[in-house]
Chains A and B, each alone.
Chain A
Amino acid sequence: MNAVGPALAAVGGLAVAGALAGGLAPARVRPLAAGLCTAGLGAAGVVAGAAALGGARYGVWLPGLLPLAGVRLAVDPLSGLFMAVTGAVTVAVAVYGVGYASPGGGMHGGRGPGDEDAAGSAGGRHAGSDAHEPRDALAAGGGDHGVRSRGAQAVGPVFAGAMVLVPAAGSVSTFLLLWELMALASLLLVLAEHRERPTVRSAGLWYAVMTHLGLVLLLVGLALFAARAGGESFAALRAGAGGMPAGVRGTVFVMTALAFTSKAGLAPLHAWLPRAHPEAPSHVSALMSAAMVNLGVYGLLRVGFDLLGGGPAWWWLLLMGAGALSAVYGILQAAMASDLKRLLAYSTSENLGLVVLGTGAAGLFRAAGDRPLAALALAAALLHVVNHAAFKALLFCAAGSVLRATGLRDLDRLGGLRARMPVTAGLFALGALGAVALPPGNGFVSEWLLLQALVHGLAVPGAAAAVVLPVAVAVIALSAGLAAAVFVKALGVGFFARPRSAGAGRAVESPPAMLAGMALLAACCAALALVPGALGPALTRAVRAAGVGTEKPLADGELGVHLAHTSAALHPLWVALALVAGTAAVAGLARLPARRRARRRDARLWDCGGGAPTARMAYTATSFAEPLQRVFDDVLAPEQDVDVTPVRESAYLVERVRFQRLVPDRIEHRLYRPLLAAVSGLADRARGLGGGSVHLYLGYGLFGLVAVLAALVVGW
């Protein structure tokens, strides 16, 4: 019995039910009803995905659902993997979202902005500086707008359902429809808090424009593909791809790859991501960053490997270039960011960069004829997709809890949360461990696999491989090293030490629903970190479904990850156990020499005899990142401005010094600004055409008609 069909039907049904519940239910139960529907559809997605990963294939054509083409669904293990990941993230985030949308939290507690009594107990930050804190401006929505509004609650399930169903699409029209549904729903959700913060609107505008430019590219590319292949179902595309001229195939690949990499948040088409992800409500950010961006990768794999059947080396070199660029650029920008959610958004850009780097390597190996290695590289990329989804959803949820409890996203003002929100801090630490790619975190396993694929790739003939692979290894290493610095900053500055503002000092632990959602994600992270070998067969099937290699990339191993063709192996569970045992042993041994059982005693911080330091003396995120910023000065090109106002009639006495530094997104500066300037320049000039006279406008119409007819005559 095939479980995929009923599960997909359940996804669709629950999405509609959730939308109705979110739109119609009374405000008190609205988040709960919509959240339950969303969680249910996520669970159905997991069921469908797991069944597909188990080897079930499913295809259906429903001509009545959509005029002209009908809805066509086709599920194979590759879609199954992405469905399962999206579904799992959706379940956890939906549970979290119920708590997130419930009333309460640090900034809903009826404390006015002028309430400064907590500042003193919070560790002595300048009380005056808190008066300007935009605490209410960052609030996660109060009253009947924001995340609790009818609109946001109704759109949430639709967004989740569309994401789960995108990988199930089996024809161009169905795919585009679901894709656009997903994009529109996410846009509406990004805009949910536009009344609270004006920046949301600008982020929404960027997102809307970029995602629709991507859609246009996708539409044109896939339409060209379908026209040449003589059919729009994926099966027809697959059959027709072989006979197409290389130029058409290349055009289709480049156009779709541009759209998909933009959706995946890869540089240089990433500009929407660091805007939209921080401004969206946090559970939406988690969904976007952990599930939606993955679908860009899915699209790349589906079109590049499956439908087009692979291609020449230059396609994949292009992908590897884009992946490497965003891996390094993303993590560098994350290192400079002091906004917690912006930091996480840039880290998404980095991780998806690594995934695409692996995908490109798989394509390169496949083009060179080394199928086993291609399978390994792709398995590594897919495993990283899964890992990234788990830890990034967890991190965004934890950041959302912080935002909800303190009203702050600025790391420079946070701190001390490990005492006030211990569970959230612990969960964030777990997610960060995954993100830094160090054992025993889950990110390490996939980066290790990726490195193995690249290290063994030198056996592949061709100058390209020999030149590109060492650079790729260096890029992965650099991004891993910088990621360590980034998450030490996020955890150490954001959660440790003492509160740097009154808002952080007042934080309280999140409600149980939010903690439960995060705990689910943390459990996923832990399972992925300790027994990644369990995913081996599923990865093998997904890689086979992508048509990359029929060989098993990983040897069967319950506990560890063994490469099938070399002696390399990794046993994360043993490593974790050894670390725990070692820590316990060291703790025990260190006590032996003590003459008497002395209890651990608290004492004043020494601080070089400087006395009890205030929170203002602690390193902030900005100061933490300063050495890195100086090292990468040429790449980041920060803008620095020192403004000295001298006391009147004195050359030496200074009244005020203002220092300002901004690390702009340089790609944006160099690439987007001129483009936008050119567009608005053209638009300005075009304004001259509109004189206001109706006759003039009618004249344009006539002229246009005549011109078209004339062109037709000449063309005849």
Chain B
Amino acid sequence: MSATGYVAVAAQVAVVAGGAPLLTGWMRQVRARLEGRAGAGVVQPWRDARKLLRKEPVSPTGTGPAFRLAPLLLVAGTAVVAALVPLAATRTPVSGSADLILVVALLALGTVALALAGLDTGTAFGGMGASREMTIAALVEPTILLAVFAVSIPAGSTNLPAIVAGTIDHPARTASPAELLAVAALVVAVLAETGRIPVDNPATHLELTMVHEAMVLEYAGPDLALVELGSQMRLAVLLGLVATLAAPWGVATGGSPALLALALALLVAKVAVLGTALAAAEVFRAKVRLFKVPELLAGSFVLALLAVVGSYFLTGEAGR
């Protein structure tokens, strides 16, 4: 099993790193078609990345090591998350430390690194973006951890492979109201974490509204490519996490290579479906004002709390 385990981890990281730009390209394409445009094609993000990576690395005057390290840390942290989350297989060499709280914290580490980089530039935009991003991140945290709490109740552990394996063994769990509420709360939190509509608009560069983009405005060349790749991987891995928690079927619990290949194919399909739904939803929704975001997050916080409490008072302790 151990050889397949290592292969599984490597495959997960490779699929997330290689597929994330394609997912973004796919979502842009879906949006473009729904809006009646031709679109740039699914592989456009990869073309952009290649173009940027070939450029000369540039550091703006007055920036320090934090500015240069942040993109690397963002991508590396997300890659570690991609290795930890049982996207394709539950029995991997790292499954012992694949803790859900750790995953959430590692993603937050990337946010913090970028926010520091934004402040390091010393420009008004960098500070504005960092300030807004940290505000949202601080408010997302309770929601996301309560959702974690809720999904970990049936398994009795925050260990992700244990949760996923438990759900595969008891398929009825996914239909329980508590699980549905938790996933709904998680989806809102994921939208906020990845800076999608209605929390942030990844396609805007309007100073009044931009959050994430303001933070990374000074990046250019290979650094910018990494920042973009980092955000794309973040979206891919979080959508993968939601898919794995909500519909874990297909994730390989054994060690056979054929099952692993099937699991990877299913993962790509699940994430593509989620991405399509997200892109379609974004066509019909507008970004909310920054100061309305707390309302949205408070709502998802209530959903997460109801999920925790609901796992008690609806089905009782029977699920444990």
Contact = CB atoms under 8 A, between A and B. Distances in A.
Interface of A: 415, 418-419, 436-439, 444, 448, 451-452, 455-456, 458-459, 466, 470, 473-478, 480-482, 484-485, 488-489, 491-493, 496-498, 560, 566-571, 574-575, 578-579, 581-583, 585-587, 590-595, 598-608, 610, 613, 615, 617-619, 623-628, 630-631
B156 interface: yes
Contacts of A604: 60-61
Q: Is the interface of A mostly helix, strand, loop or mixed?
A: helix
Given A481-B141, A484-B112, A579-B77, A560 B105 contact: no
A481 B140 contact: yes
B119 A627 contact: no
B1 interface: no
Interface in B191-244: 207, 217-218, 220, 222, 225-226
Nearest to A592: B53
A225 B98 CA distance: 48
Closest 4 pairs between A and B when the two form their complex, measured CB to CB? A619-B127, A492-B119, A481-B141, A582-B76
B146 interface: yes
B80 A455 contact: no
A594 B146 contact: no
A668 to B, nearest CB: 24
Interface in B140-163: 140-142, 144-146, 149, 152-153, 156-159, 162
B146 A474 contact: yes
Contacts of A582: 75-77, 79-80
Given A571-B97, A615-B122, 14 more contacts: A439-B106, A439-B109, A455-B158, A481-B139, A484-B137, A492-B130, A567-B162, A570-B102, A590-B53, A590-B222, A594-B53, A600-B58, A601-B57, A631-B294
B315 interface: no
B164 interface: no
B123 A627 contact: no
A624 B119 CA distance: 10
Contacts of A480: 141
Contact of A578 (B56, B60, B80): B80
Interface stretch (B29-37, B65-73, B251-259, B265-273): B65-73
B59 A600 contact: yes
A85 B185 CA distance: 41
A608 B216 CA distance: 12
B55 to A, nearest CB: 8
Contacts of B141: 477-478, 480-481, 484
Contacts of A567: 157, 159, 162
B122 A627 contact: no
A310 to B, nearest CB: 26
Contacts of A444: 105
B176 interface: no
A496 B112 CA distance: 14
Interface string B71-102: 01101110110010000000000101101011
B60 A627 contact: no
A594 B54 contact: yes
B131 A473 contact: no
B294 A488 contact: no
14 contacts: A438-B112, A452-B158, A470-B149, A478-B138, A481-B139, A481-B141, A492-B115, A496-B122, A575-B80, A585-B76, A607-B121, A608-B217, A615-B122, A631-B291
Contacts of A592: 53
B44 to A, nearest CB: 17
B301 interface: yes
B116 A488 contact: yes
Contacts of A595: 54
A413 to B, nearest CB: 14
B184 interface: no
Contacts of A600: 57-59, 68
A628 B158 contact: no
B308 interface: yes
B97 A575 contact: yes
B45 interface: no
Contacts of B308: 470
A570 B149 CA distance: 17
B138 A451 contact: no
Nearest to A436: B112
Interface in B11-55: 50, 53-54
B207 to A, nearest CB: 8
B96 A571 contact: yes
B164 to A, nearest CB: 13
Contact of A618 (B60, B122, B134): B122
Contacts of A476: 145
A437 B99 contact: no
Contacts of A489: 134
Contacts of B130: 488, 492, 619, 624
A492 B119 CA distance: 5
A438 B108 contact: yes
A28 to B, nearest CB: 38
Given A448-B102, A569-B99, A605 B60 contact: yes
A484 B123 contact: no
Contact of B76 (A496, A574, A586, A627): A586
Given A575-B102, A603-B60, A608-B217, A586 B79 contact: yes
A564 to B, nearest CB: 13
B173 interface: no
B72 A587 contact: yes
B159 A568 contact: yes
Nearest to A467: B309
A477 B162 CA distance: 23
A594 B140 CA distance: 38
Given A496-B116, A603-B61, A607-B123, A477 B146 contact: yes
Scoring A476, A560, A567 by chain B CB atoms within 10 A of each residue's CB, the highest score goes to A567
Residue among B58, B61, B64, B138 facing the most chain A CB atoms (10 A cut-off):
B138
A477 B108 CA distance: 12
A583 B72 contact: yes
A336 B135 CA distance: 12
B126 interface: yes
B209 to A, nearest CB: 13
B131 A627 contact: yes
A473 B146 contact: yes
B298 to A, nearest CB: 10
Contact of B64 (A419, A575, A590, A630): A419
A602 B301 CA distance: 44
A605 B62 contact: yes
Given A570-B102, A630-B291, A602 B60 contact: yes
B281 interface: no
Contacts of A575: 80, 97, 102, 106
A218 to B, nearest CB: 35
Contact of B123 (A474, A605, A631): A605
Given A480-B141, A627-B131, A627-B135, A491 B116 contact: yes
Contacts of B99: 448, 568-570
Given A493-B119, A604-B61, A583 B76 contact: yes
Contacts of A574: 94, 97
A601 B291 contact: no
Given A470-B149, A568-B99, A488 B73 contact: no
B135 A485 contact: yes
Contacts of A481: 108, 137-142
B125 interface: yes
A451 B128 CA distance: 32
A593 B229 CA distance: 15
A484 B122 contact: no
A601 B58 CA distance: 5
Nearest to B62: A498
A625 B64 CA distance: 23
Contacts of B77: 579, 582
A446 B75 CA distance: 26
A212 B97 CA distance: 48
B283 interface: no
